[in-house]
Amino acid sequence: MRFTAISFSVFFILCVETSAADIDVIDRQYQDKLTQARKVYADSMKKIISDTIKRYDAEMKKEISAGHLDEAAEIKKRTERLKQLKADPLADFKEDDSKLVPEGDENAPGTDITVKKAKVENDLEKRMKAFFGAILKEDYEKAREYLDPSSVGMVPPDMLQGFMQLFSGALKVNLIKSEDQLKLKEMTLGHRKNDARVIPRWRTPMGNWHDGDPQYWVLRKGKWYLGDDKQLKNFK
């Protein structure tokens, strides 16, 4: 028996299928253009660096001939630094920009927050239990507070509540009566430290533990929210 985690995928398909498709096209076009621009940049940088190294080499030979060994050593250091840059001219662009976040967006992920795995696991488990607890108590307004604001805004309120009611029923069918029957089994933190892949576990009245489906949680303004599990396809 397997417990299925909450998912908003069905609602996104029903409500924003066309919009999502358009956004995907825009994202792909952006990535294609960005890749092309970076290639042009890298080629230009390599040429500039190669020309500069040649000029440095010529100056270094002059300094050596003149007996200015300290000056020659300094030029050599600069040459070595340029050679390192030439090997990877795109080093400054390694940050993942597959998710564009508008500057000043109040829902932007908290990328500047330093987190430790143990603390994240503790915070996530508390938020996860609080969400499930609200669902079990049928306090859907409270449960909504634990859902990703960006995702919730794309789903009509009455449809979202209907889904949470179905989800509450599914929990009870699986004999889950309290959030104390749930715990966090596994958590993988994204490389930007602002999202996570979470696998919950739940305990039956007989004491057996079962794994749930993976969930996607995102950090926004210092708090973790349950998000759209479709994001797990691109999670890293």
- pTM of structure: 0.53
Give the pLDDT of residue 106: 39
134: Cβ–Cβ under 8 A, 6 or more apart, which residues? 140, 142, 143, 145, 146
Per DSSP (E only), the strands in the chain are: 182-189, 195-203, 209-211, 215-220, 223-226
Give the pLDDT of residue 25: 66
Give the pLDDT of residue 23: 61
Give the pLDDT of residue 134: 92
Q: How far apart, in whole angstroms, are the C-alpha atoms of residue 226 and residue 145? A: 10
Give the pLDDT of residue 39: 79
Give the pLDDT of residue 91: 62
Bridge partners, residue 217, by sequence: 196, 226
What would the pLDDT profile of 134-182 be if each residue is shown by its tens digit? 999 999 999 999 998 877 777 777 888 888 888 788 777 777 888 888 8
Main-chain phi, psi angles of 200, to 5 degrees: -85, 165
User: What distance separates the 2 farthest-apart alpha carbons in the chain?
Assistant: 88
3-class DSSP state of 161: helix
Flag residues of the chain having pLDDT under 70.
Answer: 1-25, 27, 90-115
Q: What is the DSSP letter of 208?
A: -
Give the pLDDT of residue 107: 43
Give the pLDDT of residue 197: 92
